[in-house]
Amino acid sequence: ESLLPRPTHRRVMTVANQKGGVGKTTSTVNLAAALAIHGLKTLVIDLDPQGNASTALSVEHRSGTPSVYEVLLGEISIAEAAQVSPTSPNLFCVPATIDLAGAEIELVSMVARESRLKEALSSEALDQLQPDYVFIDCPPSLGLLTVNAMVAAQEVLIPIQCEYYALEGLSQLIRNIELVQQHLNPDLSISTILLTMYDGRTKLADQVTSEVRGHFGDVALKTVIPRSVKVSEAPGFGQTVLTYDPGSRGSMSYLDAAKEIAIRGAQKEGA
């Protein structure tokens, strides 16, 4: 049985930030792995043609593999595309192949182009899998793939790198989230900000941290992810940092962050 509260209703979280290299994929796979280790069934949807989440979770994603691309086309269901990750029996991944690279343009002329992922995630389609959590790893853009992720979710998780220009571009992201709220998905909210790649040796990291907390208050998790070589090495071994080096600071911090996310969710449900 899980040590973390199991959500009564499935939580669908979109991990978005149009800036590349801020820790979207790393946070997606490690948070998902942390929840899975605690016995919560977790599904990662890789929505980036780069397929980095698929690589990190060690699932097949060569061109032609049933993937999120065919799901968006309506050819197959999420359950048909999902693979169990060798990193944990509770962790599933709908991979992204390079075929997804054209989807951003192909989607433009499709019916219900903004809600194709939402349709695919509808309850019947997920009856077999029954995940407690779904994480959607977005590409570094605000195009139709990211819009699909925002329409399919209730929550947005924004990773922010503790670096120069950390907050640059955030207003554009927030504006896009507001547009999706107004026109396509009134249930959407920014539920979680996660500070990543924190380097305690620099003053800058603390400045960014307090600036973000000033802006977002309690939406920012208390847990901050440190910059750690182990975190960046793990995907090269087809592992998450939780199995690659369970005792490392990176691993512990992702476990803490996942715990915060789970407990907050339970508190909101109870409220």
Report which of 209, 208, 254, 258 is spatially closest to residue 231, judged by C-alpha positions: 254
Burial class (CB in 10 A: 0-12, 13-18, 19+), 143: middle
24 is a contact residue toward Mg ion (CB under 5 A): yes
Taking the C-alpha atoms of residue 188 and residue 109, their distance in angstroms, rounded to an integer, is 25
20 is a contact residue toward ligand ADP (CB under 6 A): yes
Q: Residues with Cβ < 8 Å from 120, sequence gap 6 or more?
A: 71, 72, 74, 77, 78, 152
Q: End-to-end CA distance of the chain: give it in Å, rounded.
A: 24
Under DSSP, is residue 192 helix (H, G, I), strand (E, B) or coil?
strand
> Which does residue 145 bind out of ligand ADP, Mg ion, none, counting CB within 5 to 8 angstroms by kind?
none
> Which does residue 66 bind out of ligand ADP, Mg ion, none, counting CB within 5 to 8 angstroms by kind?
none
Give, in order, the Cα–Cα distances in Å from 265 to each of 6, 56, 175, 259: 9, 26, 24, 10
Please choose, out of 52-60, 162-170, 173-181, 263-271, the segment that lies near Mg ion by the rule CB under 5 A: 52-60
In the complex, minimum distance from the CB of residue 225 to ligand ADP, in angstroms, rounded to a whole number: 5
Q: Which of 14, 17, 18, 25 binds Mg ion (CB under 5 A)?
A: 25
Q: Residue 118 or residue 227: which is nearer to ligand ADP going by CB?
A: 227
The residue count for binding ligand ADP (CB under 6 A) is: 17
Convert residues 72-101 into a mask of x (bound to ligand ADP by CB under 6 A) and - (unbound). Answer: ------------------------------
Please choose, out of 70-78, 141-149, 222-230, 256-264, the segment that lies near ligand ADP by the rule CB under 6 A: 222-230
Is the distance from CB of 199 to CB of 245 less than 8 angstroms?
A: no
185 is a contact residue toward ligand ADP (CB under 6 A): no
Q: Residues with Cβ < 8 Å from 235, sequence gap 6 or more?
A: 26, 29, 52, 55, 56
24 is a contact residue toward ligand ADP (CB under 6 A): yes
19 is a contact residue toward Mg ion (CB under 5 A): no
Hey, which residues between 94 and 153 contact ligand ADP (CB under 6 A)? Answer: 140
Q: Residue 17 or residue 148: which is nearer to ligand ADP going by CB?
A: 17
Taking the C-alpha atoms of residue 202 and residue 46, their distance in angstroms, rounded to an integer, is 33
Please choose, out of 4-12, 25-33, 144-152, 241-249, the segment that lies near Mg ion by the rule CB under 5 A: 25-33
Is the distance from CB of 82 to CB of 91 less than 8 angstroms?
A: no
Q: Which of 11, 41, 118, 227 binds ligand ADP (CB under 6 A)?
A: 227
Reading the block at residue 266, the tokens are 């339970």
Instruction: Report which residue type is found at 29.
Output: V
Give, in order, the Cα–Cα distances in Å from 189 to each of 155, 176, 178: 5, 12, 9
Q: Residue 4 or residue 195: which is nearer to Mg ion going by CB?
A: 195
Hey, which residues between 51 and 70 contact ligand ADP (CB under 6 A)? Answer: 52
Contacts with ligand ADP by CB under 6 A lie at: 20-26, 52, 140, 196-197, 225, 227-228, 231-232, 250
